[in-house]
Structure 1
Amino acid sequence: MTKTVFVTGGNRGIGFEIVRGFAKAGYKVMMGCRDEDEGNEVKEDIVGGDVHVIEMSLSNEQGIIDALTRATAVYGGIDILVNNAGVLCRDGVEDVSMGDVSSALQVHVQAPLTLIQQVLPGMKERGFGRIINMSSGWGAFAEGMEGPVAYAISKAALNALTLNVANELEEESNITVNSVCPGWVHTRMGGTDAPKSPEEGADTVVWLGTLEDETPNGKFVRERKEIDW
């Protein structure tokens, strides 16, 4: 049976290439985005893929649950969840607002947790699940936590969520949870000086999602290799 993938922030940048990568591999993909019209417009660039646009705001728990419930009622349960959506406030510790900190924590931690809570029961019932959280070297203690404060602490918290959920899963469940660092990618967020293409940034996510056997669990991965937290 064809597996179903849900990707948040799937209408641009790395997220779009994640959607495209899974679609090319023959998966059914739900492209989560804030604006359905924008999603349908970019979806036309994916030739031959089974892609469905899901309008979803990550700003509050109930909105996420309602959108996901509508989506799964039409397109079926989710086998692979990619928490890709991100926000970046570049203010330093003396200037950052609590609103920007709250927004980063909502998008990078609370929304992924809500989505994980919603998809885990179905994954356990089907005996398969892959959860992939898009993190960053800026949120890694091993790399000095050098990112802007709201972004860095929220990505570090996302890594903590990854490890905590992975530790709760039984080895025989065939469900894995991992964080991915895509590297510095040429996107609207990454800027024009970045050396990596969005497709290169998406590669490790698609690789993790399509692995059937010997899949890592509770790891931080960059370029298909484990790195330190």
Structure 2
Amino acid sequence: MNNKRALVTGGNRGIGFAIAQGLLAQGYEVIITARSIDSASKAAEKLSEKAISLELDVSDDRSIDRAIAVLTQQIDRLDVLINNAGIYPDKQVDSLTISRELLNTAMQTNTFGVIQMVQACLPLLEKSADARIINVSSGMGALDSLTTTATSYSLSKLALNGATVMLSQSLKAKNIVINAMCPGWVRTDMGGASADRSPEQGADTAIWLATEASHSETGKFWRDRKVISF
């Protein structure tokens, strides 16, 4: 057991649950967050008696602050932050019909929530000798793969990729690495039953970035353990 600690947002199902499962298998202590404590607790019970459950809504700064305040009373440092929580709110809209409200909803969760999580967790991450942050992004956020049929999702992931680059510049002096990764098309509630990857396959690169990748790798976009273009 390596006694390292990882926090996984949206870890109660899908890719987040698979990431948490993989980290636990490698000896990490894992904190599972979800928007409701019931969902987080049920997921933690399925994973391990050592998993910690935490109520946290990444779209709400007050929820983030409350959760990290509670967590700070339980742990003395955080080694890995996995920003996995995300939404796909685009339904029957495109770039010509989407509302400002829908765009804002996606950005608040998928982009701004990640930035806020990094800021809130920074004091705990700074106490780790090998702090790593992984942002679960999407190929639909790459410049050459933007799609009008998922306007808010694509734009929020494009912005998340940009935020990853900017955060990497700010965090370099603190010796904290941060990367974005694309899990591929995964069989989850978001990806649907027709997707060609299992949650475990989708989680692989995030787990690798959290545990094995060189600490010198930062500010990059990954898929299948290889760098891809933003």
Q: For 1:32-111, what aligned pairs fall within 5 Å after superposition?
A: 32-46=33-47, 48=48, 50-90=50-90, 91-111=93-113
Supply the AA of the counterpart residue of 1:82.
Answer: I
Instruction: State the secondary structure of the residue aligned to 2:74.
Output: helix
Q: CA RMSD in A?
A: 1.7
CA shift at 1:134, angstroms? 0.6
Supply the AA of the counterpart residue of 1:137.
Answer: G
Which residue pairs with 2:7 in the alignment? 6
- Specify whether residues 62 and 197 from structure 1 end up closer, same or farther in structure 2 by C-alpha distance, changes over 3 A only: same
Which residue pairs with 1:178 in the alignment? 179
Contact 1:159–1:179 (CA<8 Å) still a contact in 2? yes
Aligned with 2:142 (options 140, 143, 151)? 140
Q: Relative to structure 2, which stretch is displaced further, 12-21 or 55-64?
A: 55-64
Contact 2:186–2:196 (CA<8 Å) still a contact in 1? yes
Cα distance in 2 for residues equivalent to 1:181 and 1:98 = 26
Which residue pairs with 2:194 in the alignment? 193
Contact 1:132–1:205 (CA<8 Å) still a contact in 2? yes
Give the gaps of 5 or more residues in structure 2.
none
Give the gaps of 5 or more residues in structure 1.
none
Contact 1:26–1:49 (CA<8 Å) still a contact in 2? no
Which residue pairs with 1:227 in the alignment? 228
CA shift at 1:215, angstroms? 4.4
Supply the AA of the counterpart residue of 2:157.
Answer: K
Contact 1:5–1:80 (CA<8 Å) still a contact in 2? yes
CA shift at 1:103, angstroms? 1.2
CA shift at 1:106, angstroms? 0.8
Contact 2:79–2:132 (CA<8 Å) still a contact in 1? yes
Contact 1:4–1:76 (CA<8 Å) still a contact in 2? no
Cα distance in 2 for residues equivalent to 1:125 and 1:82 = 17
Which residue pairs with 1:209 in the alignment? 210
Which residue pairs with 2:26 in the alignment? 25
Supply the AA of the counterpart residue of 1:131.
Answer: I
Cα distance in 1 for residues equivalent to 2:99 and 2:179 = 30
TM-score for the superposition, normalised by structure 2: 0.92
Cα distance in 2 for residues equivalent to 1:38 and 1:117 = 25
